[in-house]
A and B are shown apart, each in its own frame.
Chain A
Amino acid sequence: MVDGRSLVTRKMGARLWLSGGWLVLLALAALFAPWISPQDPLAQDIFASRLPPFWQSGAEPGFPLGTDSLGRDVLSRMIHGARVALGVALIAGTLTCLVGASLGLIAGYFRGWPDLVISRFIDIWMAFPPVLFSILLIAVLGTGLTSIIIAIVVIDWTRFARVIRAEAIGQGAMDYVVSAQVAGRKRFDTMIREVLPNVLPTIVVLLTLEMGIAVIIEAILSFVNLSISTDQPTWGGMISEGRISIHQAWWVLIFPLVSLFLTVLSFSQLGEGLKDRFDPVLR
């Protein structure tokens, strides 16, 4: 019989490499955006508006993926848009993770009134439609990168808190935690040194998934024109413009859409792959 496990590992390996590869490519594009973009992402040229991508007739050599209705280069805008997307993914993802996982750990390990308060907040948060909540927060906080990051942390901390709370409850009942307490360890000390390392794999998986979600939230906010500013190119903003001129210039929509799609897929495949790696049964 074929060794099923090695087959699974090999397939997973390929997925991990592909997703990792795309994200590295994106990170490089974001880092070196000013040097590798063929054009200035903000430069408008009414006479070069809605140029098609390179393989279609009527394309111009300096604009490989065509231009939008204001004559701005699609490829350059995408490369610069990667900066916002990855920046938001890293910063907002990490902050959401810190806030959510800490609250979840405290609620699950200490139980009692901290758990009561945190769980009640989670219930209230779950009753909000997340997209509407984020749009409302941006309207309150004003547009800009900081506002988006705050909005993502405020909406999404429950994702971590719910899962980590459940895990911490499970860990808290284990023998090793009980024996640490019997041995006279302080409760907070036990939480950090004994419980946290055991829920860390779950935290890492959730963090990877959250980065993909953060990219989507930023895109949605740019789509409703509530993101950074109209000057800064973002994938969501490009999609919003592309949606309007979809019948005249489909390429303005399709390229940022594809990169958004691949980025979200890569983060989630990475998360799934890590989950399988951490799972002792599969390992």
Chain B
Amino acid sequence: MTLLKRALAQLCTTAITLFGVAIVVFFVVRVVPGNPIAMMLPPGASAEDISRLEALYGLDKSILHQFVIWLGGAVQGDLGTSITTRQPVLELVLSRLPATLELSMMALVIAVAIGGVLALTGTRMRGTRVEGAIDVGNGMALSVPDFLWGLVLILAFGVLWPIFHISGRASPTLDFEFATKFYLFESVLRLRFDVWLDLVSHMFMPALALAIPLAAIIAQLLKQSLKETMHLDYVTLARTKGYGENSVILREALPNAILPTLTLVGVQFTFLIGGTVIIERLFSYEGLGNMAIDAVINRDLPLIQGIVILFALIFTAVNLVVDLSYAALNPRLRHG
């Protein structure tokens, strides 16, 4: 199968999955008890007012009819109107997406950095106590989820040794007009490193909490692959040629050991993005996840649907990219 055919086949399954997600979320949300319309109106509103508002949001039609209308709009990029804020859902969701993307990207960078350094250190120091310590740390980091790491970080670096901010995305006193919602990128592009520093000191704790489990996975798998590679002939050859241990690991072993880790990072990245929901809540970070929890609590059906669909879109897109890049990088799959 050529790469193009593979891509088309994957696109089809992705479309089916997204359609499935849309169906599940639409019907789950419709079972919500508590009429959202009743919450919008002042007490004592007449039945006529209620039915007029229901008609406005399309809630008077049958569920199937509502689904068809919603799906037709969604395909054209219209996700409906939020019940609580009365703004278009797409607009609301897109205003929060950059914050979540920046947080996820930062977490990914931290995870790769920590995981990579640990794997390389563990390989360099194999057989010593250092490797043992790295293994024990990895085991712990793996079995404890991001939510608990977030709480530990809040206690450690927010209270006991307060060097980082533990809530919000930027200091309220920050005197800076952002032109986009990508605060972090914008601050770098406009060379305002004071603003950048303020943003990073807010994002670092939630990003680290998200990164710790992924860093452990990277460290474990990369170290394993490196260990296997270190016994191969060409590594021994490099060593007999007189290369030092460091350059043998970095130049010979690493490039050959990295592929399985890359694939795994892609898959695990979707779990990391899913983790932003509760981590944003924990750190009062104004991203998509925090908005989602508010939407559920306020029973804002159109907004919930929009956010879940957006998350599903991101997840499937990441999986698609990982799958295709794996196929493109792996010669056996490319010609298979």
Contact = CB atoms under 8 A, between A and B. Distances in A.
Residue of A128, A129, A137, A260 with most partner-chain B CB within 10 A: A129
Contacts of B277: 129, 131-132, 135
A257 B153 CA distance: 12
B296 A136 contact: yes
Contact of B282 (A126, A129, A130, A243): A243
A265 interface: yes
Contact of B139 (A128, A140, A250, A272): A272
Interface stretch (A83-91, A106-114, A215-223): A215-223
B304 interface: yes
Question: Could you tell me the dominant secondary structure of chain B's interface residues?
Answer: helix
A127 interface: yes
Contact of B315 (A127, A253, A272): A127
Nearest to B313: A127
Interface residues of A, number: 41
A189 interface: no
B21 A224 contact: no
B311 A129 contact: yes
B21 A128 contact: yes
A216 B308 CA distance: 21
A257 B155 contact: yes
B299 A139 contact: yes
Contacts of B159: 246-247, 250
A212 B292 CA distance: 25
A158 interface: no
A184 B32 CA distance: 50
Contacts of A121: 20
A223 B18 CA distance: 30
Chain A interface helix/strand/loop/mixed: helix
Nearest to A239: B151
Contacts of B13: 123
B36 to A, nearest CB: 11
Contacts of A69: none
Given A139-B32, A246-B158, A265 B144 contact: yes
A228 B53 CA distance: 33
Given A132-B307, A136-B28, A254-B155, A124 B17 contact: yes
A226 B278 CA distance: 13
Contact of B151 (A130, A140, A257): A257
Contacts of A140: 28-29, 31-33
A121 to B, nearest CB: 8
Contacts, number: 126
Nearest to B23: A124
Interface in B11-45: 13, 16-18, 20-21, 24-25, 28-29, 31-33
Contacts of B273: 129
Interface in B260-276: 270, 273-275
B144 A224 contact: no
Contacts of B304: 136
Contact of B147 (A120, A127, A220, A268): A220
A261 interface: yes
Contacts of A247: 159
B31 A136 contact: no
A137 B33 CA distance: 11
Contacts of B160: 250
A136 B29 contact: yes
B139 A127 contact: no
Interface in B97-148: 139-140, 142-145, 147-148
A269 interface: yes
Which has the most chain B C-beta neighbours within 10 Å: A120, A126, A213?
A126
A131 B275 contact: yes
A254 to B, nearest CB: 6
Contact of B148 (A131, A226, A257): A257
B271 to A, nearest CB: 8
A219 B146 CA distance: 13
Contacts of B292: 132, 135
Interface in B276-332: 277-278, 281-282, 289, 292-293, 296-297, 299, 304, 307-308, 311-312, 315-316
7 contacts: A123-B20, A124-B20, A127-B311, A132-B292, A140-B28, A223-B282, A257-B155
Can you list the 6 inter-chain pairs with the closest CB atoms, starting with the nearest? A268-B143, A124-B20, A129-B274, A127-B312, A131-B277, A129-B311
Interface of A: 120-121, 123-124, 126-133, 135-137, 139-140, 142, 212-213, 216, 219-220, 223-224, 226, 239, 243, 246-247, 250, 253-254, 257, 260-261, 264-265, 268-269, 272
Given A120-B17, A129-B273, 4 more contacts: A220-B147, A224-B293, A246-B154, A257-B151
